[in-house]
Amino acid sequence: MWARLKQMLIKEFIQVFRDKRTRVILIAPPIVQMLIFGYAATFEIHHVSTAALDLDQSQESRELISRFTSSPYFDVRAQVTDGRALHALIERGEATVGLEIDAGFAHKLNAGESAPLQVVVDATNSNTALIASSYVAQIAQGYAREADEARMGRIAPQLVEQMPAVELAERPWYNANLSSRWFFVPGVIGSLTLVLVITLTAFAVVREREIGTLEQIMVTPIRPVEFILGKTLPFFLIGLFDVSLIAAVGTLWFQVPFRGHIWVLSAGSVLFLFCMLGVGLLISTVSSTQQQAMVTAFFFIMPAITFSGFGFPIATMPPWLQTMTYLSPLRYFLVVLRGTYLKGVGIEVLWPQMAAMGGLGLGLLAMAILRFHKALD
């Protein structure tokens, strides 16, 4: 058995590495995609195009607008003179946020009355609109607090120091700078590994069937179990290599800290790769051509990434969809990745995720092997 399995492994590695295109695919695309997703995938917004309408033309209104001009989150590109021009900029997409300060703003502010600041936001992109609105609220609240303190300083200076105030003491754990890149980079590691291992495994077996060499192999003394092991073990080793490569790029290039134990991450990676090998092999048993394998893999990959919590919180999904997320191995692997990278937790915390991936891996591999035997018969 071991001699036949050895020859099968040698055949697979020769077939993989003799093709220049395959060699490039194993190294270049994961690195390029890691860099692209690392920069592109973020919840942070900067330089939001903004237009301002100042009908008050006072020192106070100009100071408020200057807060937005000096902010890295807003880019005040136009200061218009009437409301129709402001709305036109937003309708044409030239401005995402519109600030409108009505006449009498300074008078109301100095009199201790509420001085409204109207904010018009293009909510076509709801995520950008929500984040931009929160940034506007922070700037406006900061300005209002300083204006109130200045007014009290003029009226009753002796009471300024006695005024009660609530100070927010922020202590974000695990990500002190609140960088969304620290959240996304571990997720990209898991997502790229999923796509790479599934496509390689599914296409390799289907290619044998499509070109007619599968039947030739099966008439040799090699047994189906040896054939399956010979087909999956090379891609398991390649998957481990790519996980290490992608993780190294994410850690070193994007400076995402790794606070956990490497053996915990390695154990989680091995269990996740078993799951992906089972999925890839299962796809190969229901596909007759590489085109069918590609479509079937796409049918699995997109829901698996969506249900994993990579970009969308699972808690915001409908209850019946939240139940379906437990079938996605990537859900558990992302917990392991972010737990080891950012929190530094160990197996005593991550064992439920490890056990879930182990169970899913055994189930998927068993289904794939049984289905593969049936397909051969």
Neighbours of 181 (CB within 10 A): 19
Closest CA to 137 of 88, 201, 68: 68
The pLDDT value recorded for residue 172 is 83
pLDDT above 90 covers what percent of the chain? 15
Angle at 190 between CA 185 and CA 195, to 5 degrees: 120
Letter for the amino acid at 298?
Answer: F
Taking phi over 0 as left and psi of -120 to 50 as alpha, with beta for the rest, 124 belongs to alpha
Alpha helical stretches, state H, the chain? 2-17, 20-40, 59-69, 83-91, 105-110, 126-155, 157-160, 180-211, 213-218, 224-253, 262-285, 290-306, 319-324, 329-338, 347-376
- The per-residue pLDDT for range 276-301, each reduced to its tens digit, is 988 888 888 777 777 888 888 888 88
Comparison of pLDDT for 242 and 217, the residue scoring more: 242
The pLDDT value recorded for residue 155 is 66
Average pLDDT over residues 87-94: 89
Architecture of the CATH domain 48-160? 3-Layer(aba) Sandwich (3.40)
The pLDDT value recorded for residue 303 is 87
The pLDDT value recorded for residue 216 is 63
Comparison of pLDDT for 344 and 23, the residue scoring more: 344
pLDDT score of 163 more than 70: no
The pLDDT value recorded for residue 129 is 87
The set of residues, in sequence order, having a beta carbon less than 8 Å from that of 37 and lying 6+ positions away, is: 184, 188, 191, 192
- The per-residue pLDDT for range 241-266, each reduced to its tens digit, is 888 888 888 888 888 888 889 999 99
Every domain range in the chain assigned CATH 3.40.1710.10 = 48-160
The pLDDT value recorded for residue 212 is 64
pLDDT score of 224 more than 80: no
309-319 exposure pattern, b = at least 16 Cβ within 10 A, e = fewer: bbeeeeeebee
Average pLDDT over residues 87-116: 86
pLDDT score of 85 more than 60: yes
The pLDDT value recorded for residue 331 is 93
